[in-house]
Amino acid sequence: MLTLKTPLKNISKILPKYHKILDKLELRTVEDLLSYFPFRYDDFSQTVKVSPEYINQTVTIEGVVTKTKSARIPRRKMTITEVTIEDDNKTPLKAIWFNQPFVLESLREGTFARLSGKMTLRGKTLQMTNPSWEKAARETTNTGCLVPIYSETSGITSKWIRWQLKPLLETARQMEDVLPYDLRQRLNLYDIYTALSQIHFPESREKLLRAQKRFAFQEMFLVQLRTLQIKTQWENNPASPIKFDEKLIQGFVKKLPFKLTDAQRKASFEILKDLENPLPMNRLLNGDVGSGKTVVAAIASLQTASAGFQTAIMAPTEVLARQHFESFCKIFENYNINIALLTNSYKLANNFEFRVSSFDSDSNFQNSNLKNDSKFKIPNSKLSRNALLDEIKSGNMQIIIGTHAIIQEDVQFKNLALIIIDEQHRFGVAQRAYLQQETMDVRDGQKKTIPHLLTMTATPIPRTLAIAMFGSLELSLLDEMPKNRKEIITKIIPATVRQEAYDFIRQEIKNGRQAFVILPLVEDSKVLTELKAATSEHRRLSEEIFPDLRLGLLHGKLKSKEKEAVMEDFKNKKSDVLVATSVVEVGIDIPNASVIIIEDADRFGLSQLHQFRGRVGRGEHQSYCFLFTNSDTEKALERLQAMEDTSDGFEISQKDLELRGPGQFFGLVQSGLPDIAMEHLSNIKLIKFARAEAQNILSSDPELANHPLLAQALQKFQEKIHLE
């Protein structure tokens, strides 16, 4: 008897040649296959008679095969298979398939068949090209209904998956429902069996939407349960109160070479007041590219260090960690603050780089209780990993910067009181919850308290969505740009005027500036990989466009040290143009760069384009962003037009949300959340219901002891969420 745990390789219908492919897709049991949801549906539900009135419409027709023909065209290495079908009206329709001669094995003359596809008119003949088909005696699976389309891989088609799933669907009756019965009744949600049946083989568009909503609710419900559990744990722990030293902060702000915006002042004040509380801060700093999150984080770190505590700053990549390290060293060069950089890329000769700013005896730090240890005054000093870990554990390092590994691995702190996570729009809500859990478990050297937490995101998130998705956090908005920042001039550049853009770059470089050329990642392609795409474009630009200029090359396949070297050369003006894949998005700060070209700009989301654009315009020079595109479709140009029309990140993110959906927007594609949940992330009502139901259950059963199925589902859910 089949059960949910039956291995797929034990099912006789699934031949051995499919076992490895299924394993690659992580489909190993019947339950795995049932949980493999379609990502879209072909609507073949309209069954009609063969008639010219349905020309250019997607329809299904049923009839008898009256004629068949197959011809090889050796010159083009192609086989053309033709089948003529007549329905009750005796009106013929010709179906044509390319390179599918096997069709004739099933659709012989006299067979009653069903075809679904777009009906067209060629001359006087009605026809369909490459239609879906099956014998009319079969239950509708591939034609005549809403047909599910699955993510495919070499050797497995959606049609094959549908044929395997149909007989296995009855097994779904064995599945226990993680959503409690009373909750389903209250919200009119399908039970698990009905939902699975309708997600794979929907009887109507309405039933499909109900099934999708059920699974979307389930995923959001688990997210909210986890977030609320952590919030409760969070609020039940004390934190070290850090007194707001107004004189210290005012002195620091006064010495900055620029004036803080009102938004920066407000956000800094909110954070400093939170730090005074004996309960841990949990705040999201939501700001645009260039809105000045770093200085707000520096103010919080300064206040923490002045009170004698440590701060850990986490970035999603080593490159960005290095960027923060350099920024903080510069900001605190006149303060006696020891700053460490700890990342995996510094394993060469077991050395880890750290830097300590020089001490200025006139600084406002005179009265602090920090230790003035001359050992740490040499810029860019190097220590072995163990020596640096000892310095962190002893408390000699006040600010420790790295990737999220610094609170997960062998790092021990003496008195860590503040953790700052720079999400750089890379950590989604579920990953953030996971990081918050890690924050509570960090070895901070303080047994009775947990650190305050400040999360920063570089993608401006529309307020309603931020409240819904990050309901457990306080929210600070940086929705104002520094006054002295020049607007970046953005232009869509079609193929016809590329040369003019290249000439413009050459002139800018002649004037002492530098330029970026950004390439999209080429994914799932047998022809091009990221490495090949970047290398070939670098060669083309070097040989054909800018033979007289110095070009650098940066891509994700380089080791961290190699990336550092390329960026260092660019920063030190040893190269004029940096050709890079989207790895450049993560925070390279080159004030001298004034032009950025984004190749195939239509292939990026608007929020990502906005991030790229923020790589220039960081200095005093007027900067330019050229959006190269070979597309002339109305949709693509409308999207890019939004970049020309506004530089407001919040406006752009709203547009991006409308066009691409929140799954792409939040960077959750690889997070473990299914497509269905991501498609419904902007359904604020659904999220609020999920949150209310999660609160309702946790209020009476905080450990989910009375809801074992939910507890198991939550455990599984956590396992599939991962950090990038």
pLDDT, tens digit, for every residue of 570-593? 988 999 999 988 766 555 678 899
Phi, psi (deg, nearest 5) at residue 276: -75, -20
Amino acid type, 603: R
* Mean pLDDT of the 517-537 span: 65
pLDDT of residue 367: 29
pLDDT band of 711, cuts 50, 70, 90: very high
Classify 29 as helix, strand or coil: strand
In angstroms, the CA 651 to CA 649 distance is 5
Domain ranges (residues) in the chain: 8-39+167-211, 46-144, 215-236+686-720, 246-478, 489-646
Mean pLDDT value across residues 46-75: 91
**Spatial separation of the C-alpha atoms in residues 367 and 357, rounded to whole Å:** 17
Higher pLDDT, 287 or 119: 119
Burial profile 82-103: b = 16 or more Cβ within 10 angstroms, e = fewer: bbbbbbeeeebbbbbbeeeeeb
Distance CA 204, CA 409 (A): 51
Read off the tokens for 182. Answer: 């009373």
pLDDT at residue 360, rounded to an integer: 31
Cβ-contact 283, 454 below 8 angstroms: yes
For 217-266, write each residue's pLDDT tens digit.
998 888 788 878 878 887 888 999 999 999 999 999 999 988 999 999 99
State in words which class domain 489-646 has.
Answer: alpha beta
pLDDT at 662 over 60: no
Q: Where are the alpha helices (DSSP H) in 307-409?
A: 318-331, 385-394
CB-based burial of residue 507 (10 Å sphere; 0-12 exposed, 13-18 middle, 19+ buried)?
Answer: exposed
Q: Which residue has the tokens 């549908």?
A: 162
What's the confidence (pLDDT) of residue 678?
A: 55
pLDDT tens digits for range 463-472? 656 655 666 6
- pLDDT at 216 (0 to 100): 86
Query: How far, in whole angstroms, is CA 394 from its chain's centroid?
Result: 37
pLDDT at residue 359, as a whole number = 29
Query: Which of 483-487, 645-649, 658-662, 680-684 ranks highest by mean pLDDT?
Result: 645-649
Dihedrals phi, psi of 95, to nearest 5 degrees: -110, 135
Q: Percent of the chain having pLDDT more than 90? A: 43
CA angle 628, 631, 603 (to 5 degrees): 65
Q: Give the number of C-alpha atoms closer than 13 A to the C-alpha of residue 313, restricted to the C-beta side.
A: 33
What is the rounded CA–CA span in Å between residue 141 and residue 152? 17
Q: CA torsion sign, 312 to 315 to 317 to 318? A: negative
Banded pLDDT at 362 (limits 50, 70, 90):
very low
Measured in residues, the chain has a length of 724
Other C-beta atoms lying within 10 Å of the C-beta of residue 366: 10
Q: Do 585 and 611 form a contact (C-beta atoms < 8 A)? A: yes
Sign of the CA dihedral with 405 first, then 410, 411, and 414 last? positive
How confident is residue 682, by pLDDT bands cut at 50, 70 and 90? Answer: low
pLDDT digits (tens, 9 = 90+) for 615-645: 888 888 899 999 998 887 887 888 889 899 9
- Per CATH, the homologous superfamily of domain 246-478 is P-loop containing nucleotide triphosphate hydrolases (3.40.50.300)
Roughly what angle, to the nearest 10 degrees, separates helices 684-700 and 205-235? 50
CA 249-252-257 angle, to 5 degrees, is 140
Domains 246-478 and 489-646 share a fold: yes
CA atoms within 13 A on the CB side of 127: 15
Least confident of 228-232, 337-341, 352-356, 422-426: 352-356
In single-letter form, the type of residue at position 115 comes to L
Lowest mean pLDDT among 22-26, 59-63, 378-382, 468-472: 378-382
Per 3-state DSSP, what percentage of the chain is helix, strand, and coil (rounded to 5)? 45, 20, 35
| Tokens 């599910």 belong to residue | 148
Q: Are strands 351-356 and 282-287 parallel, antiparallel or unpaired?
A: unpaired
Nearest to 593 by CA among 572, 565, 562: 572
The overall average pLDDT reported for the chain is 82
pLDDT tier, 651 (very low <50, low <70, confident <90, very high otherwise): confident
pLDDT at 349: 22
Helix (H, G, I), strand (E, B) or coil at 576: coil
Cβ count within 10 A of residue 641: 14
Higher pLDDT, 148 or 685: 148
pLDDT of residue 62: 93
**AA letter at 577:** V
The pair of three-digit structure tokens given for residue 167, joined into one six-digit string: 């007989």
Q: Which two tokens stand for residue 558?
A: 């380089």
- Helix (H) or strand (E) run with residue 158 in it: helix 158-168
The two three-digit tokens of residue 142, written as one number? 């591939």
Cβ(193)–Cβ(175) below 8 Å: yes
Give bridge partners of residue 490 from the DSSP assignment: 625
The overall pTM is greater than 0.75 = no
Could you report how far apart the first and last alpha carbons of the chain are, in Å?
40
pLDDT of 707 reads 93
CA distances from 457 to 144, 233, 420, 423 (A): 46, 24, 11, 5
Higher pLDDT pick, 699 / 316: 699
Which residues, 6+ apart, have CB-to-CB distance to 521 below 8 Å?
530, 533, 556, 581, 582
CA atoms within 13 A on the CB side of 279: 8
Beta strand pairing status for 351-356 and 146-149? unpaired
* 225: enclosing H helix or E strand: helix 205-235
pLDDT of 61 over the 90 cut: yes
Is 569 a residue whose pLDDT tops 80? yes
DSSP calls for 265-282: HHHHHHHHHHHTSSSPPE
pLDDT at 556 over 80: no
| Side chain identity at residue 162, one-letter code | R
Measure the CA–CA gap between 269 and 246, rounded to whole angstroms: 10
What does the pLDDT average to over 265-281? 95
Fold of 46-144: OB fold (Dihydrolipoamide Acetyltransferase, E2P) (2.40.50)
Residue 702 and residue 648: Cα distance in Å, rounded?
Answer: 42
Hey, what amino acid is at 383? L
- Which residues have a Cβ under 8 Å from the Cβ of 140 and sit 6 or more positions away? 114, 134
* Per-residue pLDDT band at 387 (split at 50, 70, 90): confident
Confidence of residue 558 (pLDDT cuts 50, 70, 90): confident
